[in-house]
Structure 1
Amino acid sequence: MQSHSLKLYNTLSRKKEKFEPLSPPHVGMYVCGPTVYGDAHLGHARAAVTFDIVFRYLSHLGYKVRYVRNITDVGHLEADSDDGEDKIAKKAKLEQLEPMEVAQYFADSYHRDMDMLQTLKPSIEPRATGHIPEQIKLVADILEQGLAYEINGSVYFDVLKYNEKIKYGRLSGRVIEELLSGSRELDGQSEKRNPLDFALWKKASPEHLMKWDSPWSVGFPGWHLECTAMSSKYLGNHFDIHGGGMDLMFPHHECEIAQGNACNHTDPAKYWLHNNMITINGQKMGKSLGNFITLQQLFTGNHDVLEQAYSPMTIRYFILTAHYRSTLDFSNQALQAAQKGYKKLINGLRIARLLTYVEDSKVTVDADQVKQVQKSLDGAMAAMDDDFNTAQAIGHLFNILKKINSIYTGQLTASSFGKEVFDKMIQTFERFITEILGLEEEKLSEQESLLDVLLLVYQEAKTARNYQKVDEIRSALKQLGIIVKDMKNKIDWAYEE
């Protein structure tokens, strides 16, 4: 395992901490996955890509990572509260389907979109409905600890009683007195003793579609319970990293911490990582605002706010151009810039794979060039070591790309860097793009062999000074997103940036 001073920003401590896994080189990481009642959107993409990067980089450093990402297919009620209708059951009624048909359809859709974004599959992907017995046991354990109460067949977590021993709100920075003063007064219709209490088990109404037997009632688990049950089952009671979107910090992750301490007597995770939100032209993304965009709409361009379609790798690159804890603002201009940046890197990758080291006895190693390359190589790693700063890492990759392009165009020779530095530069550049950042070349539908034939015809027309044919070929290829590059000793092509 490589030795790196990896630092993670821990939401719980609100500072960067040196990463020290509990049992190196093993790392346990749990990430809150989607609630499968609708198509995946940009917010889903950012969370998935963020923790895909964490997974990839820790694996690159030599850690054996068990990455668990759940699927919520029951218990997530409307308005993220303890009242209302289950989101999946509501969709099932509208579509006249079984709830599990809805969950399966949108889970498959989510996986398709994540595959297109090149996110690696998690080690384990459990579902809430597959862990009902574990959740029932947790409810019983919390009741036994005296930190929950049952009323009319439903069971609620007693936040005030828990707060007497362990502060509730440590993760989100909430103060319980302020939460209480800001909460609506109970109107006599609620079963809860106070408005901060949250459901561990809810008694189901007769018309409720998703329900199971329990010691308290025929009902269903609360939304927060599933993550405690599944994370502790697959990673233990105290694991390394818990991740999710910033919108989950309160109340979802706060409730997980309370549940973990109540039944397992420990915080669930050592490090809490939260990716920030995506806004659209400075506004929060939402269906009510008319700016809600699914990934499939982005890929096809089928949305009123889109000026064009954007490929999956353009979306992935766009997400990587900002640090995961910063707000990322969507606009057509930002995505078009991301498209150009992505193509520049992929063109560079194509070139890097073509370059070979040729010893030139007439050229001495240029110490200044070597120093510049080494600085960029070290800088890319240092950026990733500093809380997975992909934006800064990409900046260093573009500095390396300048050197690769200079060798390609003949402004510099490979011998200027020496074989060891040259090989390290090429290998690191390729490894960063493909293995760490997870970017891949999006091949054109036309075969590259046809491109070779066209370039041969182009060369013949140029040699014959048939400039009309030269211009026709150039124009036709440009319409396909390909530009012809007239090099000193050859003709090549590149994606139009």
Structure 2
Amino acid sequence: MSIYNTQTLKIYNSLSGEKETFTPINEGSIGMYVCGPTVYSNVHLGNLRTFMSFDVIFRYFIHLGYKVRYVRNITDVGHIVDDVDEGEDKIAKKARLEQLEPMEVVQRYTVDFHEILKAFNFLPPSIEPTATGHIIEQIEIIKKIIDSGIGYEANGSVYFDVVKFNKTNHYGRLSGRNIEDMLANTRDLDGQSDKRNPQDFALWKKAEPQHIMRWPSPWSDGFPGWHLECTAMSTKYLGNHFDIHGGGMDLKFPHHECEIAQNEACTGQTPVNYWMHANMLTLNGKKMAKSTGNNILPREILTGKNSILSKAFPASVARFFMLQAHYRSILDFSDEAIVAAEKGYKRLMEAIDSLGQIKTSSSSSLDIASWKQLCYDAMNDDFNTPILIAQLFEGVRFINLLKDNKETINAVDLKTLSTTMTSFVFNVLGLENQKAADSSNDKLEGTINMLIGMRNKARADKDFAMSDHIRDQLLALGIQLKDSKEGTSFSI
């Protein structure tokens, strides 16, 4: 049942710098685009936090009853090292260093990305397009920008004339920058002589002879500019004008600024109503960096194989920890902080598990309806998950009082309390009950070990047909048996 008409949602719009009442372009439907990963390495914790923020936003829209088309891309070409126009493609560089085909790199890290997001209980987007799958669309957009007089070709590459565009538009309004200041503070760099202005950015780059990833175009064999990819994929699936565009704070300039400029030059209209940006994540009070060792990968949180944390933590505990901060706030990750979060997470799950123990009365001494609306008010205030979590712990307090018979509740209010708690905890925040998951895992492990025992007996009885059958049936379910001198183990 749709309830979006009963709630007033406000979103902080990076374009205006203010919270604005959310009104979708088409009633009941939302188009949302979020910049996805560049798949040249394992997804890092900061990326995970950004994608988690938009996963919760996606979940809340669904909870309110909206029909959502959520597009999150995969950047598999064209993202240059250090995010400039000159240099080596990040994926091509990784392929060269590891002596792999670029698409091997793309496949390896796309699979890793999906595995991590699944482990952290993300909903998949509605559409997950790749940059390499939309080369034709990007070429067509470049043609339109050239026809508008804003794009120009130079030695096989095509650039966007920022100064000319700025005469009739405001380049820099999303990031609060002024083109004159940018030009004054930019020095000409070697290799940028093809550009009319230092601030111009590439729409298409001519590939050097050694460059592996290349496609034919009217201008040269080459590859698209990084900014153009998102313009092509967002407009293809959401139209020239859509509701929400999101990403990390670090993408505001130049990436999102360039997206706006490309859209306006191509279509004559601003592409997005609400721009949303998630803030950074630090580790032990410092910026995360592989070079300093102040770094941890999401998978290392789950396995405990790291030098940062005292033990392994379940994905839902890490998720709960991250959602205790507002998506626009800087969040500091540390062992002490996640240990504290685990205690809060367990309290929350214990309370939910004990809902069935509460006895009903003919009347209620608790105002459950007002509390329920406070939960919505938190999410309606720019998706304020820390305030929502505070309200959920107020629900935990209610549950404990009711268990101890210190308050009373009727059947209708108990159903409201139970439904609100479970809906916000599991459906909106995307948490999972780890205790139930652990119990399920224990049962699965016990079942597999029983089958291994049956297989061992079949092998001892020289019934190799049965032994092979058990092994093959488990493999078909994604469970691989490994025989060694120590015995038989399994992996899933």
TM-score bracket, shorter-length normalisation: 0.7 to 0.9
Match for residue 294 of structure 1 among 297, 306, 319? 297
Match for residue 375 of structure 2 among 371, 376, 380? 380
Task: For 1:437, give the aligned amino acid.
Answer: L
Question: Structure 1 stretch 375-384 or stretch 157-166: which is displaced more?
Answer: 375-384
SS in 2 for 1:123: coil
- 1:278–1:328 contact (8 Å) kept in structure 2: yes
- 1:186–1:194 contact (8 Å) kept in structure 2: no
Q: In structure 2, what is the Cα distance between the partners aligned to 1:430 and 1:422? A: 12
Query: How is 1:262-281 mapped onto 2 (pairs within 5 angstroms)?
Result: 262-281=265-284
In structure 1, the partner of 2:412 is 420
Q: In structure 2, what is the Cα distance between the partners aligned to 1:278 and 1:55? A: 21
SS in 1 for 2:273: strand
Q: In structure 1, what is the Cα distance between the partners aligned to 2:266 and 2:143? A: 9
Match for residue 221 of structure 1 among 220, 224, 242? 224
In structure 2, the partner of 1:483 is none
In structure 2, the partner of 1:405 is 400
- 1:317–1:439 contact (8 Å) kept in structure 2: yes
Query: How is 1:191-210 mapped onto 2 (pairs within 5 angstroms)?
Result: 191-210=194-213
Match for residue 131 of structure 1 among 131, 134, 137? 134
Task: For 2:70, give the aligned amino acid.
Answer: Y
Question: Structure 1 stretch 214-223 or stretch 174-183: which is displaced more?
Answer: 174-183
- 1:28–1:65 contact (8 Å) kept in structure 2: yes
SS in 1 for 2:291: helix
Q: In structure 1, what is the Cα distance between the partners aligned to 2:350 and 2:53? A: 24
In structure 2, the partner of 1:489 is none
In structure 2, the partner of 1:258 is 261
Deviation of residue 252 (structure 1)? 0.2
SS in 1 for 2:172: coil
Alignment of 1:117 onto 2:112 = no
Query: How is 1:167-182 mapped onto 2 (pairs within 5 angstroms)?
Result: 167-182=170-185
Deviation of residue 22 (structure 1)? 0.4
Deviation of residue 365 (structure 1)? 2.7
Q: Gaps (5+ residues) in structure 2? A: 447-492
SS in 1 for 2:397: helix
Match for residue 22 of structure 1 among 25, 49, 54? 25
Query: How is 1:302-381 mapped onto 2 (pairs within 5 angstroms)?
Result: 302-352=305-355, 354-355=356-357, 357-359=359-361, 365-366=363-364, 369-371=365-367, 373-381=368-376
Structure 1-normalised TM-score? 0.86
Deviation of residue 335 (structure 1)? 0.9
1:69-121: CA deviations, max 9, x gaps?
A: 00000000100010111101111111211111110110010000001111100
Structure 2-normalised TM-score? 0.87
Quick one: structure 1 residues 27 and 188, their matched pair in 2 at CA, closer, same or farther if it must change by over 3 Å?
A: closer
- 1:172–1:254 contact (8 Å) kept in structure 2: yes
Q: Gaps (5+ residues) in structure 1? A: 451-497
Task: For 2:412, give the aligned amino acid.
Answer: E
Deviation of residue 405 (structure 1)? 2.0
Deviation of residue 123 (structure 1)? 0.2
Quick one: structure 1 residues 106 and 370, their matched pair in 2 at CA, closer, same or farther if it must change by over 3 Å?
A: same
Task: Give percent identity, aligned residues only.
Answer: 53
Deviation of residue 174 (structure 1)? 0.8
Q: In structure 2, what is the Cα distance between the partners aligned to 1:303 and 1:266? A: 49
Deviation of residue 447 (structure 1)? 4.4
- 1:314–1:342 contact (8 Å) kept in structure 2: yes
Query: How is 1:58-207 mapped onto 2 (pairs within 5 angstroms)?
Result: 58-186=61-189, 190-207=193-210
- 1:8–1:19 contact (8 Å) kept in structure 2: yes
Please provide the CA RMSD for this pair.
1.7
Question: Structure 1 stretch 30-39 or stretch 183-192: which is displaced more?
Answer: 183-192
Q: In structure 1, what is the Cα distance between the partners aligned to 2:98 and 2:131? A: 22
- 2:402–2:409 contact (8 Å) kept in structure 1: no
Task: For 2:411, give the aligned amino acid.
Answer: K
